[in-house]
Amino acid sequence: MAESTEVKLLGLWPSTYALRARIALNIKQVNYAFLEENLGAKSELLLKSNPVHMKVPVLLHGDKPICESLIIVQYIDDVWTSGPSMPPSHPYDRAIARFWAAYIDEKWGPTTKAIDAVIVAGEGEEAKKAAVDKVYDILVLLEEAFKKCSKGKAFFGGDRMGYLDMAFGSCLGWLRFREKLHDIKLLDPAKTPQLVKWAERFCEHPAVVGVMPETEQLATIEYGKGLIAKVRGANPSKW
Amino acid sequence: MAESTEVKLLGLWPSTYALRARIALNIKQVNYAFLEENLGAKSELLLKSNPVHMKVPVLLHGDKPICESLIIVQYIDDVWTSGPSMPPSHPYDRAIARFWAAYIDEKWGPTTKAIDAVIVAGEGEEAKKAAVDKVYDILVLLEEAFKKCSKGKAFFGGDRMGYLDMAFGSCLGWLRFREKLHDIKLLDPAKTPQLVKWAERFCEHPAVVGVMPETEQLATIEYGKGLIAKVRGANPSKW
């Protein structure tokens, strides 16, 4: 079943969530077709495959659609069973990885986007600092989580990249875009030294190289351009 | 490990989320101590065990805390391995059960609470109908999901109650409370006949009897009393 069935991924290259699925497929060395969606004119295949949310990513395994990025990662791990399991194999470690992945899905997007909102609303430097501090609060928790989960090794998953690595690592492209956009350092060696080094390792991993979007690429898409225009206001040339 | 280690659950009896963990423990016939929390004065044990969210439920397996209801259910299934697995054993079925459980966690609470808000704001019958219709939209999707997941059997999980049964079944206490509160029928045999029958079976299951909160019980707690007072306004005697 796993090997002989055609695999397609409906996604968008700048999507944090599609990236998780791509990295998981790369780790398992699964051949797949990446079908780039157009959010302005979603494909019939996307609408049919994810009628509830109509969102990417969708993994198509033969004619079976699987939706939601972390569910896709677990599915990939369940079906292509070679190599170590992506959620840790010990039940407690697995529960902890799931806890932090859920935490990231709940907190990361709104908290980082809140920086954009504060700047766009012209709320000033103090409000910007408060918004950035909320991101640091998350990162400090993740630094502690990294220490516990990695047990002194390279990744949240230990020696090998795992579920939580993918859950958070997929956010690094937009994190770096926002660092440049707002002229701030979110991953700061003084605050979260281990996460800084982990992020470098993550981006250099063979499963990640070539699929992680670069800051300059994100600045070319409509959403990125729109953010730059709104944040930089009359002075977009500063970008 | 599984059998010899003390198990405690920090919870609240009216909590939808704590209920999921209780049902899962009951299904696996795990002996556990249920430690009722007081949200007005959370215990040191809760604050220490779930410092990130400071919320129930928390499962304590020996000295190991596990947080977040659906993660707890999976942990219970991973550790107490007797009987059929609660997330389905086939990867695709498992992905589908996870998809709908995540959907319920995202949509159910806000959409049902929106009915309360519309009534409290005095927005009138048309707005109430629109809010209730949004709940029907969810239920109709879940009716379809039930047909696919149950494959003609009694539960979302097939012959035996499973992960998705617990994810949605745990919502039935407050669903019934709101049916009475707003004088509406959410689980309507004309709209979702299979869900209506499933809900009856769920509530009669030995793992659920005795832990599912009754409408009259929910009307006695602060939150329930507050809702009744707000919704019934000057006429609480109608309850």
From residue B15, alpha-carbon distances to A199, B45, B180, B209, B213 in Å are 38, 18, 18, 15, 9
Pairwise CB contact (< 8 Å): A72 & B78: no
Pairwise CB contact (< 8 Å): A103 & B67: no
Share of chain A above pLDDT 70, in %: 96
Q: Which two tokens stand for residue A66?
A: 């699987």
Instruction: Give first-to-last CA distance, chain A, whole Å.
Output: 49
pLDDT per position as a tens digit, A110-169: 999 999 999 999 999 999 999 999 999 999 999 999 999 999 999 999 999 999 999 999
The answer to whether B58 and B50 have CB atoms below 8 angstroms apart is yes
Residue-level pLDDT at A84: 74
Nearest-Cα distance to chain B for A15, in Å, is 19
List the one residue out of B29, B24, B28, B27 whose CA is nearest residue B11.
B24
Residue-level pLDDT at B88: 86
Tell me what the mean pLDDT of segment A183-212 comes to: 97
Whose tokens are 């809140």? That residue is A114
Angle at B18 between CA B16 and CA B20, to 5 degrees: 75
**Which of B71, B99, B141 is opposite residue A98, by nearest beta carbon?**
B71
Residue-level pLDDT at A236: 58
Chain A contact set for B51 (CB, 8 A): none
* A2 pLDDT more than 60: no
Nearest 5°: phi and psi at A59? -95, 130
pLDDT lower than 70: segments of chain B = 1-3, 234-238
Chain A contact set for B79 (CB, 8 A): 91
From residue B148, alpha-carbon distances to A55, A79, A80, A112, A201 in Å are 21, 21, 24, 38, 42
Q: Using CA atoms, how far apart are residues B55 and A234, in angstroms rounded to an integer?
A: 45
Pairwise CB contact (< 8 Å): B78 & A94: yes
Tell me what the mean pLDDT of segment A62-67 comes to: 97
ω into A189 cis (within 30 of 0): no
Choose from B30, B96, B144 for mutation: most chain A CBs within 10 A. B96
Neighbour tally for B47: CB within 10 Å: 10
Q: Using CA atoms, how far apart are residues B84 and B176, in angstroms rounded to an integer?
A: 30
- Per the model's pLDDT, the better-predicted residue between B87 and A38 turns out to be A38
Tell me what the mean pLDDT of segment A194-223 comes to: 97
From residue B202, alpha-carbon distances to B73, B118, B192 in Å are 17, 30, 15
Nearest 5°: phi and psi at A158? 100, -135
When the pLDDT of each residue in chain A is averaged and rounded to a whole number, the result is 94
When the pLDDT of each residue in chain B is averaged and rounded to a whole number, the result is 94
The answer to whether B9 and B21 have CB atoms below 8 angstroms apart is yes
Residue-level pLDDT at B82: 84
Instruction: Give first-to-last CA distance, chain B, whole Å.
Output: 49
**Which of A91, A92, A99 is opposite residue B68, by nearest beta carbon?**
A99
What amino acid is encoded at A177 in this protein? Answer: F
Neighbour tally for A64: CB within 10 Å: 14
Chain A contact set for B92 (CB, 8 A): 61, 64, 66, 75
pLDDT per position as a tens digit, A13-34: 999 999 999 999 999 999 999 9
**Which of A67, A91, A141 is opposite residue B52, by nearest beta carbon?**
A141
Residue-level pLDDT at B238: 62
Nearest-Cα distance to chain B for A21, in Å, is 14
pLDDT bracket for residue A235 (50, 70, 90):
low
Interface of A with B (CB under 8 A): 52, 61, 64, 66-68, 71-72, 74-75, 78-79, 91-92, 94-95, 98-99, 102-103, 141
Pairwise CB contact (< 8 Å): B95 & A72: yes
Q: What is the 3-state secondary structure (H, E, C) of chain A?
A: CCCCCCEEEEECCCCHHHHHHHHHHHHCCCCCEEEECCHHHCCHHHHHHCCCCCCCCEEEECCEEEECHHHHHHHHHHHCCCCCCCCCCCHHHHHHHHHHHHHHHHHHHHHHHHHHHHHHCCCHHHHHHHHHHHHHHHHHHHHHHHHHHHCCCCECCECCCCHHHHHHHCCHHHHHHHHHHHCCCCCCCCCCHHHHHHHHHHHHCCCCCCCCCCHHHHCCCHHHHHHHHHHHCCCHHHC
Residue B202 is inside which H or E element, if any? Answer: helix B193-204
**Domains defined for chain B, CATH in brackets:** 7-79 (3.40.30.10), 91-238 (1.20.1050.10)
Pairwise CB contact (< 8 Å): B66 & A102: no
Q: Using CA atoms, how far apart are residues A172 and A170, in angstroms rounded to an integer?
A: 6
Phi-psi domain of A193 (left: phi exceeds 0; alpha: psi -120 through 50; beta: other): alpha
What amino acid is encoded at B13 in this protein? Answer: W
Q: Using CA atoms, how far apart are residues A64 and A49, in angstroms rounded to an integer?
A: 8
